[in-house]
Amino acid sequence: MHLGLHVDGGGEGFDGAVDYARRLGASSLQIFSSNPKTYRIGPIDVPALERFRARRAEAGIATCAIHTSYLINLASDDPKIANGSLRLLRNDLAVAAAGGIDFVNTHLGSYGKRPREEGFAAVTALLERALEGIAPGVFLVLENSAGAGQLCGGTLEELGDFVRALGHPQLGVCLDTAHSWAAGYDIDSREGVDRFVALADATVSLERVKMFHFNDTQIPLGGHKDRHWHIGEGNIGFAGFRALAAHTELLDKTAILETPGDEADDARNMQSIRLIFEGVRT
Ligand SMILES: [Zn+2]
Ligand SMILES: [Zn+2]
């Protein structure tokens, strides 16, 4: 797999993100295109994005993803929020096109008080509009949620329904391990992971699974809370990630760590996941 991590620009921008990923031996990278907590959209800095692309290539970063703003809620029944979300999503797709970025990974949002059927149709319609303008080479990637309350995308079946409803070749899925565990998928063992991968193939199809977010979690199975923890130090544990590493049909995928802490923690987590994939940790 292309193993990498989410890098919070921290003011150093795209160049800093590449340096950080390279220091930690990552071959993949995820960033925010701008402040993830505002609806404000700035102009697209094309020269900076072209530099970013060249620096990634130099640093051996094979794949790159943008994580969209946390404000995005495509399932909202408030047209202001729904349209603002579509604008943010389209902007990130345009940034990805300008920077040669492979994936735009997004949360779908919450249905709120809406009947799920009505919400599902509304999300599908917005995704269709986002996909209308997508540039070649960019994938729009829907991330599974922890499935709390009325959150959209908490089951593989529901993600599969989006894939079939849209049928667009540039639509993909990202499976976050912490969210999957919190949604009730017992991916802490070989058997559990085998079941999970088989279900992912039957629902969204492995071809559509473009990315994983590799995060451990201390939340109980099915606890529906979105809390990330260090690789191997939570309930998924080394056994769960080893079982994922054993699935050779996933080797061409990208896996991004979104684990907490500072650079020392990031270095430890990158080291752990690399050792798991190298089969050193038994
Ligand atoms: Zn996410
Ligand atoms: Zn995630």
Encode the chain (282 residues) as per-residue pLDDT tens digits: 999 999 986 556 788 999 999 999 999 999 999 877 878 888 999 999 999 999 999 999 999 999 999 999 999 999 999 999 999 999 999 999 999 999 999 999 999 999 999 999 999 999 999 999 899 999 999 999 999 889 999 999 999 999 999 999 999 999 999 999 999 999 999 999 999 999 999 999 999 999 999 999 999 999 999 999 999 999 999 999 999 999 999 999 999 999 999 999 999 999 999 999 998 654
Query: Ligand 1 centre from 213 Cα, in Å?
Result: 8
Q: How far is CA 170 from the centre of its chain?
A: 15
Residues 261, 263, 267, 268, CA torsion sign: negative
Distance 193 CA to ligand 2 centre (A): 18
* 155 CA → ligand 1 middle, Å: 15
pLDDT for residue 282? 46
Q: Measured in angstroms, how far is the CA atom of residue 49 from the centroid of ligand 2?
A: 23
Of the listed ligands, the closest to the CA of 215 is: 2
Distances in whole angstroms, Cα of residue 54 to Cα of each of 60, 99, 258:
10, 9, 24
pTM here is 0.96
85 exposure class (CB count in 10 Å sphere: 0-12, 13-18, 19+): buried
Any idea which residue has 């991004």 for tokens? 256
Q: Where are the domains of the chain?
A: 2-258+272-278
Q: Pairing mode, if any, of strands 2-6 and 28-31?
A: parallel
Nearest ligand (C-alpha, residue 67): 1
How much distance in Å is there from the Cα of 91 to the middle of ligand 2? 20
pLDDT at 280: 61
Torsional class of 26: left (φ above 0), alpha (ψ -120 to 50), beta (otherwise): beta
pLDDT at 223: 96
Q: Return the CATH number of the domain spanning residue range 2-258+272-278.
A: 3.20.20.150
CA angle 269, 258, 189 (to 5 degrees): 65
Q: Cα(48)–Cα(19) distance, rounded to whole angstroms?
A: 15
Q: How far is the CA of 238 from the centre of ligand 1 (A)?
A: 22
Q: What distance in angstroms lies between residue 257's CA and the mean position of ligand 2's atoms? A: 8
90 to 27, 145, 152: CA distances (angstroms):
26, 21, 19
Residues near 197 by beta carbon (within 8 Å), at least 6 away in sequence = 206, 244, 247, 249, 250
Bridge partners of 67?
105
Which of 53, 48, 60, 51 lies closest to 4, judged by CA? Answer: 60
For the chain, the maximum distance between any two Cα atoms, rounded to a whole number of angstroms, is 52
What's the CA gap between 180 and 165, in Å, rounded?
22
Which residues hold their Cβ within 5 A of ligand 1, which is an ion?
A: 143
H or E stretch covering 132:
helix 116-132
Name the strand (E) or helix (H) holding 176: strand 171-176
CA of 258 to the centre of ligand 2 (A): 6
